[in-house]
Structure formats: C-alpha cells, structure tokens
Structure 1
Amino acid sequence: RHYLMMVLVPAHCKALTSLLLGDHTLSVERLHYLVRYWRAIPREGRLCRFCHDAVEDKVHALLDCNSHVQLVELRDSFLTDAFDCDPVLEVVYALLSHYDFLRCLISLRKAVVRFAKYTYDVLNIY
C-alpha cells in the first residue's frame, strides 16, 4: 500500500483509503445498509444525486458524471495534470474501461498523490 506512505496530506490519504475500502458517502455504499426505518435499496436504485441516470459508485463519481459543473472542471483539471505527469496515462485512459483506469491510477506511484487530492475534492462534492 504505497499510497499510505506517499500521500502526505492526511485528509487526502483518508479520502483515498475510504474510497478503496468502500467507506465513503457515495450512494452505492450508503444506501446498501439497512438503517432504522429505512430498507436497503437495490444497487440499480442507488442513482447519482446529480444526474439520476447511473448508479452513484466510485467510477461514476470520479470519471463519468457530467451533471455537476464543478465536478467536470475538477475532472478535466485532474486528467490534464495526470496526463502531463505520465503521458502513458492518456493512452491507458483511451484503451481501458474507467474501472480499470482507476485501478491503474491507484497503482501508479507517479499519479497517486494527485489522484488522492482529486478523490478528496470529489468526495467533498458528493
């Protein structure tokens, strides 16, 4: 778990760790549990709070949702920065699914600090 040593800002490290462990505020996790007076909602019913078109999971929140202006601006800025950091990422982004691209970002030491900050910013929007 190289990100635990490389990400020096505690809030960014916590955001990345919570994303990886499924302990975040996205609907895919929050609506999964039976809570007092509330039934657990099936996965296909845990829709994005902004676009209401897809399940609000980490891939959708970080790479797919285009219904929140600040989110789109953050994503564009992050991807530009990540592609400048490692040009191979641009090819990987084009070839792989978004889920596999996220896995690649986490594993790359060059990009993990930037990705942790981006994750922190996105989770603050959600």
Structure 2
Amino acid sequence: MTTHVLLIDDEQEFVTTLAERLDIRGFATATAQDGDTGLSLIRQKAFDVVILDLLMPGMNGLETLKHIRHIAPDLPVILLTGHGSTREGMEGMRLGAVDYLMKPLAIEDLLDKLKEVVAS
C-alpha cells in the first residue's frame, strides 16, 4: 500500500527535493507552498501524513495545524522547524502534531518517523 504524503513548505527547492526523495522511496507525495494551498489539498484528497513547515509567510505552520485539526482531526502531522525553534515544535505537539523534526533534515530520520507514524 502506498503512503500518501502532503508536504507543506514555502521553500520551493527544499520541498521539490524532498518530494523527489520520498517518491523514489515509494511514497506518493503532493506539495503545497503555503498553508492555504495545503488546506485546500487536504479537503480534496485523503493523505496518510502531512509534513508541515512551521515558519512560512502568511499563515504559519501552527495556524495551518489548527485548521488541519478542524478539517481532518486524525490526520498525523509532522512539523519541521529550523533555527532552534524548539518552543514552536513543542507548541505544535500540544496542538496535536505527532512530532517535530529539525531542519536541516536527515532523510533517514524523516523516513523512520514516517514509517513509525504510518504503522501506528
């Protein structure tokens, strides 16, 4: 069974590269450059997990997460945080994210986390 992953991140090069790396490993990925687009995709299609950047212009990751919880309360969300923003990662977990990972991201760490989330 293919795992459907939605990547929401405003960094075009990062999200494109990450999507390619996940696709190569058998995941079906969709991407969004901002929270609004990500929410629209969640309304249109079923995903197994969302990988969500915290720091985005416009609607940030925490606001996007709050909306995801209303649209799809059981959809697992893994947060990506950079610049030592552990506080925001912890706040995201309080809001219902399953975990957070620090950027720069080791693909193996993400793969381990995806497998863990999908298995639960």
> What TM-score do the two structures reach when normalised by structure 1?
0.31
The structure showing larger relative contact order (alpha-carbon pairs under 8 Å, at least 6 residues apart) is: 1
| Between structures 1 and 2, the one with greater strand share | 2
> What TM-score do the two structures reach when normalised by structure 2?
0.32
